[in-house]
Structure formats: structure tokens, C-alpha cells
Amino acid sequence: MPAKKANLMIDEELIRRICDYASLKQSDRVLEIGAGTGNLSAELAKRAGTVYAVERDARSCSFLEKRFSEAKNVEIICADALKIGYPSFDKIVSNLPYEISRKVTERILSVRFGLAVLVFQKEYAEKLSAEPGNGNYRFISALAQFSADIEVLEIVPAKAFRPAPRVQSAVVRLRQKEVPEAGFVDFLHKVFNYRNKKLKKLFPSAEGLPDTRGSRLSPEELRKVYLDFCAEG
């Protein structure tokens, strides 16, 4: 088994619950990002029609290819999940590497899917579901809440992984509502990069903007501001 710095999920009951949360069926095409040594992949393969297991570590890919050499419904993709084009899929089920959680979240929200069940660091999960005015309310909060219904399903103790991380984790389910256009994503980036500036200062050419900071507005309110004042065309 290849040596990895990643926190590998070893709790079999947790793995089964994660797959239960995804309501998998044989017609599903599942994307898994950060397959590691394939513990989650193996359970996904029992339940789904196709599993696309993405892993960027070459040694882990070699291990995965041997482990699933006889599995006809598992395709190992040895690549960086932030750089590749994804195959067509219905659901995402992943124990994500924590250091790329935000970038992966933004990336997957830019493509069409039905449902995602993802394991994040607990602190990051709290950011995803944070409300306006809360210190944890960030760009990714507004983007994720606009794009999907978010449920924090359970908190996962460190002992569920090897090696055990120093933080707790959380299982989060996203049910996609819509894919945001690039202009709205850019608008949110600007609002939260300058979260202490009022909208009138950020977009001086747009008349009639609310006299408030964008970081105090809900995703729906931000969407309305974008469409009414900032969207091109």
C-alpha cells in the first residue's frame, strides 16, 4: 500500500453511511475526488453503475489500478481534479483533501450534477452554511447556498481516519439548484474580497445600489443586486 500524507477513511460504518446518504442506484455515474487507497471507492462500486475515481498521486493510482483491475465499473483517473475536465456524472461522493476543499467546491458548483455527499473539515462545513453577518460568511458560503441546498449530516471524529487529523470532520450533502454563470461568480469574488467596502464604493458606475456591505446580504439578495445593477447585457 502506498504511503500517503492524506487522512484515509478507515471507518467502514461511516463509509456505508456516506453511500446511504447519496441514495446510490445502478444507473448512477459517481465522481469521487481524492480516491486515496480506494476504501470509499470499493463501497461506491458495489452500489453505483459507474465510479470515476480521481487521484493525483501516482503511487496511489498504481495501487488503485491493481485493486480495481477486475472491477468493470471503476475507472481510475490519475490527474489533478482541479485541472481536468470531468466525465459526465450524476453524483459526487468524496472524502476531499482538506487543503483543496474550497477550490473543489467552487469547481464542482460550476458543472451540472444532482447531488453531492462530501466530507469536509468541520470548520469549512460551518463556513458553507454560515448566515450573512456571521464571521464565517464568505464567498464560498454565498456561492454554495445560491447553487445548492446544504445539509450538515453528521460530525465525524478524528479516529475515523488514518492518520487521525487534529480536527473534526463533517459529512455534508449538497442538492444542486442551479449552476451560476461566470459573471455572478466574479461578482461574488469582488464583493467578498472587499467585504468591508459598501457596494456603492465597489461598483461606482452602478446607480441605485443599496448602501450596505455585500457581506451582509443573503445569496438571494446578492443575486438580485447582481441582476439589477451589475450583470452585463
The model's pLDDT over 108-159, given as tens digits with 9 standing for 90+, comes to 999 999 999 999 999 999 999 999 989 899 999 999 999 999 999 999 999 9
210 and 164 fall within a common domain: no
Model confidence pLDDT, tens digit, residues 27-42:
999 999 999 999 999 9
User: What is the distance between the alpha carbons of residues 119 and 125, in angstroms, rounded to a whole number?
Assistant: 9
Categorize the per-residue pLDDT at 5 as very low, low, confident or very high, splitting at 50, 70 and 90.
low
Judgement on whether residues 106 and 168 belong to the same structural domain of the protein? yes
Average pLDDT taken over every residue of the chain: 94
Kindly state the cell numbers that stand for 114. Answer: 444532482
- What is the tally of structural domains in the chain? 2
Contact 74, 13 (CB under 8 A): no
The share of the chain scoring above pLDDT 90, in percent, equals 86
End position of a domain, from candidates 156, 176, 196: 176
Instruction: Judge if 154 and 221 occupy the same domain.
Output: no
Q: Is the pLDDT of residue 233 over 80?
A: no
In this predicted structure, the answer to whether residue 194 has a pLDDT above a threshold of 70 is: yes
Same domain, 27 and 99: yes
Residues in the chain: 233
Global confidence as pTM: 0.92
CATH code for position 13: 3.40.50.150
What is the structure's pLDDT at 3?
Answer: 39
Mean predicted confidence (pLDDT) in 47-58:
97
How large is the average pLDDT for residues 95-100?
A: 91
* Statement: residue 2 has pLDDT above 60: no
Each residue's pLDDT tens digit, 9-26: 999 999 999 999 999 999
Distances (CA, A) of 11 to 8, 166, 213, 229: 9, 17, 44, 49
Amino acid occupying residue 103: K
Sheet holding 169-176, edge to edge: 74-78, 50-55, 29-33, 91-95, 115-121, 169-176, 148-156
Owning domain of residue 120: 8-176
Tell me, what amino acid is at 106?
A: E
